[in-house]
Structure 1
């Protein structure tokens, strides 16, 4: 993988997003249905934040499997919105920024996903998994180890 290639060459472009007015129940459903760990938040076509699986689990913390607790948990999930748990101050990259810049952000921060924005419009997302996947598919790396 060329670390000086633009980040748009490895970013996920088909995104599942939510709005700040959506319920946390919708967050739960999207995480479960799409098997993802990050949901970009958009308002009026502009990227404004991110909800991670950790944000969601932090919200749910403290509830157990007792039936009354499950009903209370469901009530809370339907009563609260994304706006209450999303992360607003998050690193962002432009589509032409280099992959090595994304790697440096991952190294220095606790982020596992970086939104790719063109101005304020979300155009993709790069995760640590995207980088690992592209490294594992890089045939040049394997040639250097087998030679």
Structure 2
């Protein structure tokens, strides 16, 4: 089974100039943990909920979270805090190989690129669903 058979093709993305507050709302609205940052159709980076939380609380103890400092950080363009070195996979890669990439790099999401074009996104959940479907199909065959 290949990545393009199980990936999500309608990818929620953001622009590097979008503010952290807007991205947090998108993550909440679409119930996703992260999204590719795209400019003119090209992948620029990736931003996750964890990246944002780490940025908002950077250098602060839990007891000293400064509301005004966090509000300032909410207006930061996501391009300034995104992960720029993004690990990607091609759509033709077997999902077993994509799973290995996720495990090796300790990541849950892989943007899928055809050349330089973002064509999908693969999550651990996509892989688990595909494996579950495969196992169900095998059980039906064995009957």
TM-score (norm 1): 0.83
Matched, 1:73 2:77: no
User: How far did residue 26 of structure 1 move?
Assistant: 1.1
Give the 3-state SS of the residue equivalent to 1:137 in structure 2: helix
Written as runs of structure 1 = structure 2, the 5 A alignment for 1:3-42 is 5-42=1-38
Matched, 1:99 2:70: no
Q: Provide runs of 4+ in structure 1 moved above 3 Å.
A: 62-66, 68-72
User: How far did residue 65 of structure 1 move?
Assistant: 9.2
User: How far did residue 74 of structure 1 move?
Assistant: 2.5
Structure 2 Cα separation of the partners of residues 63 and 14 of structure 1 = 38
User: How far did residue 70 of structure 1 move?
Assistant: 3.5
Give deviations 1:77-101, integer Å, cap 9, x for gaps. Answer: 01x1111211111211111111111
User: How far did residue 112 of structure 1 move?
Assistant: 0.8
User: How far did residue 69 of structure 1 move?
Assistant: 3.6
- 1:119 aligned residue: 115
Unaligned runs of 5+ in 2: none
Structure 1 Cα separation of the partners of residues 61 and 119 of structure 2 = 36
Structure 1 Cα separation of the partners of residues 68 and 130 of structure 2 = 42
Structure 1 Cα separation of the partners of residues 55 and 85 of structure 2 = 18
